[in-house]
């Protein structure tokens, strides 16, 4: 039973009644996820001398729980997981060492993403690079080829994610990363990560560490970027000029409602209910389903995607201003 709300005010304002974390539920969710990830990681280590194919198979559920830890870190970054900022920051920074994602830096870029998602005039921070048809046609031939290479599914979902999490997140190369707080976040995460790696090498050796952690990171980063991609990159999405852009429209029309099987919805901590999250980012992940159950308009007007539907999104690459939809290169 959800909280009593006043249905005479705007939808995003009404959803704020659900933005109340429950300490016991947050702690239990965190412990279950950490224990499951640790158990799977240990099982991978134990199977190294038995059969490496077993180790690789175990990397898939281990990667899934790592993604779940990332979603919990994501909630901390929004200040939605615990009632106090100090608790959110403490847990978020601790998890960032496992997810290879500097907490404070990512929090600032992700806040920019929420404030600008679907705004054609404010692209470039915390999002996936997306050009309009006119912008693409105005490029030189070699820059068109570079953009086509970037939007190639193999590059976008396999090569780029691994480079992003393993290498680029270690370096303050983007403009937002050069701010003092972001720079400290990156350096502190790198130091903590170096300490953890040193300890693990002393415990199991460098070869075993690479054989375990590398497949986890490749699978987790690929699935993680794919999830982020389909949350906003679908055919009848939402992109508007700054004058036309509206926050609630961008959330409801520009964020997908990813209908996953219940086990996968649990495993991804309801991140597929992304339109609700964009309407009110202070709602803990475990309350998002209650919002959909309590507000029929969140289900009826949502941009729904299922597992098969997400595959059709992979080839989308350009926003067509005339047709008001994302199109493929071959549609030009």
- 280/276 Cα distance (integer angstroms): 6
Contacts of 54 (CB under 8 A, 6+ apart): 47
pLDDT value at position 124? 80
C-alpha distances in angstroms, 187 versus 96, 175, 194, 232, 293?
12, 16, 10, 30, 42
pLDDT value at position 5? 41
Asked whether residue 3 is domain-assigned, the answer is no
pLDDT value at position 315? 93
Instruction: Say whether pTM exceeds 0.95.
Output: no
Asked whether residue 262 is domain-assigned, the answer is yes
How many domains does one find in the chain?
Answer: 1
Asked whether residue 160 is domain-assigned, the answer is yes
Residue, of 179 and 91, whose pLDDT is higher: 91
pLDDT digits (tens, 9 = 90+) for 314-331: 999 999 999 999 999 999
Counting runs of H as helices and runs of E as strands, what totals does the chain give? 17, 5
pLDDT value at position 8? 33
As given in the structure block, the two tokens for residue 213 are 């952690």
Asked whether residue 1 is domain-assigned, the answer is no
Asked whether residue 145 is domain-assigned, the answer is yes
Asked whether residue 284 is domain-assigned, the answer is yes
pLDDT digits (tens, 9 = 90+) for 117-130: 999 999 888 889 99
For residue 232, give its domain range: 11-331
DSSP of 206-260: HHHHHHHHHHHHHHHHHHHHHHHHHHH--TT---B-TTT--HHHHHHHHSEEE--
pLDDT value at position 176? 61
pLDDT value at position 21? 96
pLDDT value at position 302? 81
The alpha carbon torsion through 45, 50, 56, 62 (nearest 10 deg) reads: -40
Asked whether residue 165 is domain-assigned, the answer is yes
Contacts of 204 (CB under 8 A, 6+ apart): 45, 212
Q: At residue 175, does pLDDT exceed 90?
A: no
pLDDT value at position 188? 94
Asked whether residue 206 is domain-assigned, the answer is yes
Instruction: Please state, rounded to an integer, the average pLDDT across all residues of the chain.
Output: 91
């Amino acid at each position: 039973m959800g909280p009593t709300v006043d249905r005479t005010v705007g939808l995003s304002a009404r959803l704020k009644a659900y933005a109340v974390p429950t300490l016991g539920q947050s702690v239990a969710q965190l412990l279950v996820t950490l224990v499951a990830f640790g158990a799977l990681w240990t099982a991978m280590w134990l199977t190294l001398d038995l059969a490496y194919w077993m180790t690789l198979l175990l990397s898939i559920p281990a990667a899934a729980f790592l993604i779940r830890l990332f979603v919990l870190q994501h909630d901390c970054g929004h200040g939605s997981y615990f009632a106090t900022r100090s608790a959110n920051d403490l847990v978020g920074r601790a998890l960032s060492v496992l997810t290879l994602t500097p907490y404070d830096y990512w929090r600032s870029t992700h806040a920019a993403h929420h404030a600008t998602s679907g705004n054609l005039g404010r692209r470039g921070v915390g999002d996936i690079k997306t050009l309009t048809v006119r912008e693409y046609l105005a490029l030189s031939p070699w820059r068109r080829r570079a953009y086509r290479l970037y939007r190639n599914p193999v590059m976008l979902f396999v090569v780029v994610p691994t480079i992003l999490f393993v290498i680029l997140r270690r370096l303050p190369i983007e403009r937002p990363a050069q701010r003092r707080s972001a720079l400290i976040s990156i350096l502190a995460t790198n130091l903590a990560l170096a300490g953890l790696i040193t300890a693990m090498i002393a415990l199991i050796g460098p070869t075993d560490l690479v054989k375990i952690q590398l497949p986890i990171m490749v699978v987790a980063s690929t699935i993680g970027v794919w999830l982020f991609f389909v949350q906003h990159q679908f055919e009848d999405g939402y992109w508007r000029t700054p004058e036309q852009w509206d926050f609630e429209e961008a959330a409801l029309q520009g964020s997908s409602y990813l209908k996953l099987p219940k086990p996968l919805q649990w495993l991804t901590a309801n991140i597929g209910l992304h339109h609700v999250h964009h309407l009110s980012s202070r709602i803990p992940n475990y309350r998002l389903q209650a919002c959909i159950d309590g507000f029929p308009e969140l289900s009826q007007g949502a941009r729904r995607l299922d597992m098969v539907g997400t595959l059709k999104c992979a080839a989308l690459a350009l926003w067509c201003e005339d047709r008001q939809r994302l199109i493929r290169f071959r549609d030009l």
